[in-house]
């Protein structure tokens, strides 16, 4: 990540020297700060209000745009595709601890900010992000300041829920009952069938590619009242057994992580979130380093 950023800054610097190598006066700097601060305020307000459109307005719609969040790299179109993730957020609050401006020239500015965030989700749970830091490169294009490069480094921690014990996990898990399918790719479909078994579920699944089964397995989900969660044992053909942990954090949303991460699930390198959008559809989101990197939609087979 550092190498890529250094190269970008060198290219920007070389380009700037060629067309705009005059020093920026103090008066110009103050004027530019005010203009960039307006864009920053819009960017932050969009995040606070979970308004993806407002956030995206601050970015340059170009293949040259780059976002790096906790080591993961995204382009403009990839961020645009993640807009539905804002649907889970009720609101957020940003506290700016410090901010700085560095002027490469009067058309290119580096903005850095140390911030803190509190987030409330529609399912009732909350989180605190502290510390969090932005490194943003602004470029003035067609008389408008736009973000062309964004680095976001943060640590998010969930605030313990006070209502999780009020959820009936055994009843809520029954939402998975039935047959489901998901288009994994253009030529592969995942099929998943679940039946009641005791206080849990008995499941079968397979992946079909070009009309041929390429993977299949069985699952047994069992409820453990001592932790108020489900252990999900999966045995896939030609693979070792593995165990995950499931639990609902609201009536329509549940979380999943591997058994190895049960002591501190929020620090799990990979975890999953599942949200029922309707009785006939749920969305499964893969999360790595607190950032979603894969989203799958399952629909009920009637």
Instruction: Read off the pLDDT of residues 252-302 as tens digits, 9 standing for 90 and up.
Output: 999 998 888 877 777 778 889 999 999 999 999 998 877 888 899 999 997
Whether 238 contacts 252, CB under 8 Å? no
Architecture (CATH level 2) of domain 164-300: Beta Barrel (2.40)
SS (H, E, C) 249-268: CCCCEEEEEEHHHCCCHHHC
pTM for the predicted model, two decimal places: 0.51
CATH of 2-159, one of 3.30.465.10, 3.10.450.50, 3.40.50.10420, 3.80.10.10: 3.10.450.50
Per DSSP, the three-state class of 32 is helix
| Domain ranges across the chain | 2-159, 164-300
CB-based burial of residue 133 (10 Å sphere; 0-12 exposed, 13-18 middle, 19+ buried)?
Answer: middle
- pLDDT, residue 23, reads 83
- pLDDT, residue 6, reads 46
What tens digit of pLDDT does each residue of 65-82 get?
A: 999 998 899 999 998 888
What tens digit of pLDDT does each residue of 215-225 get?
A: 999 999 999 98
């Amino acid at each position: 990540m550092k190498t890529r950023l250094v190269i970008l800054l060198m290219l920007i610097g070389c380009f700037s020297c060629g067309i705009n190598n005059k020093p920026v006066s103090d008066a110009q700097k103050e004027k530019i700060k005010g203009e960039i601060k307006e864009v920053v305020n819009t960017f932050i307000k969009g995040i606070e209000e979970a308004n993806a459109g407002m956030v995206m307005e601050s970015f340059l719609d170009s293949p040259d745009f780059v976002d790096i969040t906790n080591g993961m790299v995204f382009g403009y179109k990839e961020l645009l595709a993640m807009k539905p993730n804002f649907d889970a957020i009720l609101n957020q609050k940003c506290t700016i601890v410090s901010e700085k401006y560095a002027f490469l020239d009067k058309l290119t500015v580096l903005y850095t900010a140390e911030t803190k965030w509190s987030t409330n989700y529609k399912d009732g749970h909350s989180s605190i992000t502290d510390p969090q830091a932005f490194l943003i490169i602004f470029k003035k294009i067609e008389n408008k300041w736009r973000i062309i490069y964004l680095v976001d480094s943060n640590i998010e921690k969930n605030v313990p829920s006070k209502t999780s014990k009020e959820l009936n996990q055994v009843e809520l898990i029954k939402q998975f009952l039935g047959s489901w399918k998901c288009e994994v790719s253009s030529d592969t479909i995942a099929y998943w069938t679940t039946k009641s078994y005791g206080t849990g579920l008995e499941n079968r699944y397979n992946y079909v590619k070009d009309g041929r089964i390429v993977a299949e397995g069985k699952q047994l989900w069992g409820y453990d009242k001592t932790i108020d969660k489900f252990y999900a044992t999966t045995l896939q053909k030609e693979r070792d057994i593995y165990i995950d942990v499931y639990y609902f954090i609201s009536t329509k949303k549940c979380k999943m992580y591997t058994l190895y991460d049960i002591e501190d699930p929020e620090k799990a390198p990979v975890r999953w979130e599942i949200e029922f959008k309707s009785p006939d559809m749920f969305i499964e989101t893969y999360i790595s380093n607190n950032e979603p990197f894969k989203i799958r939609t399952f629909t009920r087979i009637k």
